[in-house]
Amino acid sequence: MANKPRILLIYTGGTIGMIKDYKTGALKAFDFSQIVEKIPELQQLNCNIKSVSFKEPIDSSNMNTSYYLDIVEIIEENYTKFDGFVILTGSDTMSYISSAISFMLKNLKKPIIFTGSQLPIGDLRTDAKENLITSIQIAATKEKNKPVISEVCLYFEYKLYRANRTTKISAEQFEAFSSMNYPPLAESGVHLSFNNHLIHQPIKDYNELIVRKDLVDDIVILKLFPGISKQVVRSILEIPNLKGVVLETFGSGNAPTKASFIQMLKEAIDRGVKIVNVTQCIGGQVIQGHYETSVALNDIGVINGRDITTESAIAKLMHLLSKKISTKEFTFLFEKSMRGEMTDKKI
Ligand code: ASP
């Protein structure tokens, strides 16, 4: 039937694409071109599913930014031919990958759902089938002929999240992700229920999808711990060609007040390095200047990451560093929501 939603499955690698060879016991790659034959339940979804796979499936730990580009190019090439996209990657770095893709695609009007699994698709107790089937169902869901989702999401274990709000929190539970600062966009139970008021609604006037392919990866995460030495901080901030730092601070954005520490940060900022304050806490936000231990960060021009995740801060830095903009504009753009990745200040 011509009106069936068309869904493109993009398999990049990871556990979900593995199947057990019961003769040898070894895990081998699953052939996604036969997905509908291998998972007959998919026929009940009443959509046309096509798939493409990376030539060499890759563990998500090995996915650098060139693979993000491969994914967005597949989406760009197929954007008008499909109603929705389901991207299968390893779960380990899925929050980083999907956050980056959310910044690379502007004016998105179609669903892009990342999913994966903790157990291979061919395992008896697998979580892969539910994750895959519901992700496809979500990508195919329309209301008044428009997709219900038009943003980059991550679906795992009965919950649909805004991708750039997620963090992997468990290496072994099926509930592997959380989104502490933004509630799920949909929950799957007996019914698939969408939280419409939380879902991004595209601005009608902007029709064209804009694909931003430039990412700058000369950046680092500097996670503070009590007593971190001057030498360590200095050698990180003096990495040649360093352009950006995600400074993981304590609580609501607090850091040592020692003059030498603040001076090192200031010198880096004066050299043009962008330093973003993100909390080490899994939930809550940075309030720079709230405690004495973050007043100096404000004064020297550290960017307030508010309630952004580290994964999303990395993605946003990579994206914004590629723009030729002033420090003032950079700070302004970083401190406000671009793709729903942070909660805007109440004015
Ligand atoms: N190591 C795998 C990966 O991230 C784990 C998974 O697929 O969940 O590629």
Mean pLDDT over 61-65 rounds to: 96
Rounded Cα distance between 323 and 161, Å, is 28
Model pTM?
0.95
For ligand 1, whether the C-beta of 135 sits within 6 Å is no
Query: For 5, which DSSP code?
Result: P
For ligand 1, whether the C-beta of 305 sits within 6 Å is no
- Quick one: pLDDT at residue 199? 97
For the chain, give the percent of residues with pLDDT over 90.
Answer: 83
Q: Is 343 a catalytic residue?
A: no
Query: For 301, which DSSP code?
Result: T
Quote the ligand 1 centre to 180 CA distance (angstroms).
Answer: 22
Residue 93 CA: nearest ligand 1 atom is: 4
Q: Where are the beta strands (DSSP E) in 72-120?
A: 84-88, 105-106, 112-115
pLDDT of 255 > 80? The answer is yes
- Quick one: pLDDT at residue 172? 94
pLDDT of 346 > 80? The answer is no
Place of tokens 């008896």: 124
Tell me which of 56, 60, 95 to substitute to probe ligand 1's pocket, judged by most ligand atoms within 8 Å of the beta carbon.
60
- Quick one: pLDDT at residue 2? 54
pLDDT of 203 > 80? The answer is no
Quote the ligand 1 centre to 120 CA distance (angstroms).
Answer: 10
Which residue among 15, 93, 167, 331 is the active-site one? Answer: 15
pLDDT of 67 > 70? The answer is yes
For ligand 1, whether the C-beta of 95 sits within 6 Å is no
- What would the pLDDT profile of 206-233 be if each residue is shown by its tens digit? 679 999 999 999 999 999 999 999 999 9
Q: Out of 56-60, 89-93, 184-188, 321-325, which region has the weakest mean confidence (pLDDT)?
A: 56-60
Quote the ligand 1 centre to 24 CA distance (angstroms).
Answer: 22
- Quick one: pLDDT at residue 347? 56
pLDDT of 119 > 80? The answer is yes
Q: Write down all domains in the chain, each with its CATH number in brackets.
A: 6-211 (3.40.50.1170), 219-334 (3.40.50.40)
Residue 176 CA: nearest ligand 1 atom is: 8
For ligand 1, whether the C-beta of 91 sits within 6 Å is yes
Residue 59 CA: nearest ligand 1 atom is: 9
- Quick one: pLDDT at residue 1? 47
For ligand 1, whether the C-beta of 90 sits within 6 Å is yes
Quote the ligand 1 centre to 344 CA distance (angstroms).
Answer: 33
**pLDDT confidence tier of residue 291, bands split at 50, 70 and 90:** confident
pLDDT of 35 > 60? The answer is yes
For ligand 1, whether the C-beta of 14 sits within 6 Å is yes
- Quick one: pLDDT at residue 206? 64
Q: Where are the beta strands (DSSP E) in the chain?
A: 6-11, 18-20, 27-29, 48-53, 84-88, 105-106, 112-115, 142-143, 146-147, 152-156, 159-162, 167-168, 177-178, 186-188, 192-194, 210-211, 219-223, 244-249, 274-279, 303-304
For ligand 1, whether the C-beta of 310 sits within 6 Å is no
Q: Tell me the helix, strand and coil percentages in the chain, rounded to 5.
A: 30, 20, 45
